[in-house]
Amino acid sequence: MIDLDSLDALAAVDAQGSVHAAALALGFTPSAVSQQVKRLERQVGLPLLERVGRGVILTGAGRQLVDDARGVRDRLEQITADLHRSADQVAGRLRITAFSTAVRGLVAPAVRRVLAEHPDLALALHEHEPWEAVDLVATGRFDLGIVHSWGDLPLSVPEHVVATTVAHDVADVVVPVGHPLAGRDHVTPHDLLEVEWVATAEGTICRQWLTRMYVGTGASPRIAHVSGEFASHLALVRAGLGVALVPRLGREDLPDDLVAVTAVDPVPERTVSVLHRRTMAGSPAVRAVVAALRPDAG
């Protein structure tokens, strides 16, 4: 009998390009992933990986097994969802991935409500950036993914993944209370040409949107400091080291020495969506979590 967990390990090696990278993606040790693949090779009686340079690739048999097993996994997911739907039971275990501000401002309160209403349901939560979450859900390593996209920078979601919008989140320009912009009702990108920014890393979705805001101004944002956490952005702004574009979702009340100024033309708004595979659409557990994430669910 082919072991499904070992199949997942082989598929992860295929997707990530190495045993080490697959282990990081799965949260296992490289030794554990290697053992799972070897177990699978013993079960089918064929080599499934071959070494190429410092990496590995699937053999012909490995490729056929991963491709054929994808349909089996999809069918098993659908069968499980249909069983729970027939029993009208919110049960089982869901793996959820979300970006950090959604964890604080959206997922944590939703999870509390769902678990209180459905004690037979178990949830496991991990933080990942949106583009990682898309891949993790699409490949079956997570069941639900909470992602965001800014303005005209949509995420690319595969056809077999369903995206449901659950919130719209606006970001403000946060400045020190004594800053020249602190008393403004609103600011435009033209008002921000001379400011120095605390921003997320280059290539992140938030950084891409900050850069896109400046289109038409003839300038680019002046990035002074880079940090991955908005809480760190606020600390740097309080220290007088720049201004920051900080979303409202998951943002704690600002201290008295910081001011949030509304940005317009364009309004920095991101769409928050929850992803799941189409094969899980009938799952009462998936439906319960998606419903809890909606803004009117509280």
Digit-coded pLDDT (tens) for 164-223: 999 999 999 999 999 999 999 999 999 999 999 999 999 899 999 999 999 999 999 999
**Number of domains composing the chain:** 3
Q: For residue 269, give Cα distances in angstroms to 1, 84, 206.
A: 50, 37, 11
Same domain, yes or no: 282 and 145: yes
Same domain, yes or no: 149 and 278: yes
pLDDT tops 60 at residue 91 = yes
Rounded CA-CA distance 209/200 in Å is 11
The range of the structural domain enclosing residue 44 comes to 4-70
Residue 298 domain-assigned (yes or no):
no
Same domain, yes or no: 278 and 266: no
Same domain, yes or no: 103 and 132: yes
pLDDT tops 80 at residue 29 = yes
pLDDT tops 70 at residue 257 = yes
- Contacts with 252 (C-beta within 8 Å, 6 or more apart), sequence order: none
- Whole-prediction pTM: 0.78
The pLDDT of residue 262 is 98
Rounded CA-CA distance 25/28 in Å is 8
The pLDDT of residue 84 is 63
Of 47, 70, 93, the residue at which a domain comes to its end is 70
pLDDT tops 80 at residue 82 = no
Same domain, yes or no: 48 and 135: no
pLDDT tops 60 at residue 298 = no
Of 22, 49, 70, the residue at which a domain comes to its end is 70
Same domain, yes or no: 63 and 94: no
What percent of the chain has pLDDT above 70?
A: 96
